[in-house]
Chain A
Amino acid sequence: EDKVVQSPLSLVVHEGDTVTLNCSYEVTNFRSLLWYKQEKKAPTFLFMLTSSGIEKKSGRLSSILDKKELFSILNITATQTGDSAIYLCAVEASGAGGTSYGKLTFGQGTILTVHP
């Protein structure tokens, strides 16, 4: 059974701090790892990672994947109160012939709270 574990489960920081969120996984036929941010409603897409060692960046957020050690990290620098949210890591596995089942297995999420 595919498994995704995130840590820490919750984190409280002050504005300006840098945070690192962790995601480890056990998946048969890994295809991709995705990070989402969920505030009140829908998860919003942040990054999709498929290759090891290639950092993806978007503003103050960055993420990298290690397919040998089976984990990913999400970094947020100079945190702001608007970064307060649940950060979800999800992994997608391949089906027959390398195609996608379309099934995302989510971790429990990390609840990030940023105080002013």
Chain B
Amino acid sequence: DTEVTQTPKHLVMGMTNKKSLKCEQHMGHRAMYWYKQKAKKPPELMFVYSYEKLSINESVPSRFSPECPNSSLLNLHLHALQPEDSALYLCASSQDRLAGVSEQYFGPGTRLTVT
């Protein structure tokens, strides 16, 4: 099973709303990632969690707040977003990144529209 699931599939929110994106994997992976993908562009890394600890923050604005409650779950909390934050948000996971080279598996993404 190489499945990463994400909810919701689509989200429309106003600039004053607070919402959360959820990601789940049951492959025993210990590294999880959030990416942002704008139309016709490649994915851009936002955050990396390794063993439930934040290891990389790619200078993401504080209106995006990641959380990793356990090894299977990854959340992205959204608050006071801007219209330019509208994008496809992808979650990915990979095996323990300290143990060797391993590929990242992506979820289907959440299509976010900020109005």
A103 touches B43 (CB 8 A): no
* Contact-residue size bin, chain A (C-beta under 8 Å from the other chain): 20 to 34
A interface residues, Cβ below 8 angstroms from B: 31-32, 34, 36, 41-45, 48, 50, 88, 90, 92, 99-104, 106-109
Contact of B31 among A36, A42, A102, A106 (CB under 8 A): A102
Complex Cα gap A42–B76 (Å):
17
Task: Give the residues in chain B near A45, CB-CB below 8 Å.
Answer: 2, 103-106
**A residues less than 8 Å from B105 (CB atoms):** 45
Residues of B within 8 A of A (CB-CB), count: 28
Q: Kindly list 12 other residue pairs between chains A and B, CB separation below 8 angstroms, not including A42-B106, A42-B109, A44-B106.
A: A41-B109, A42-B90, A42-B108, A48-B101, A48-B102, A88-B42, A88-B43, A99-B98, A102-B48, A102-B97, A103-B58, A106-B44
Cβ of B56 within 8 Å of any chain A Cβ, yes or no, is yes
**CB<8 Å pairs between A and B, sample of 6:** A34-B104, A48-B102, A100-B98, A101-B56, A103-B58, A107-B42
Known contacts A42-B90, A107-B42, A108-B42; is A102 also within 8 Å of B101 by CB?
no
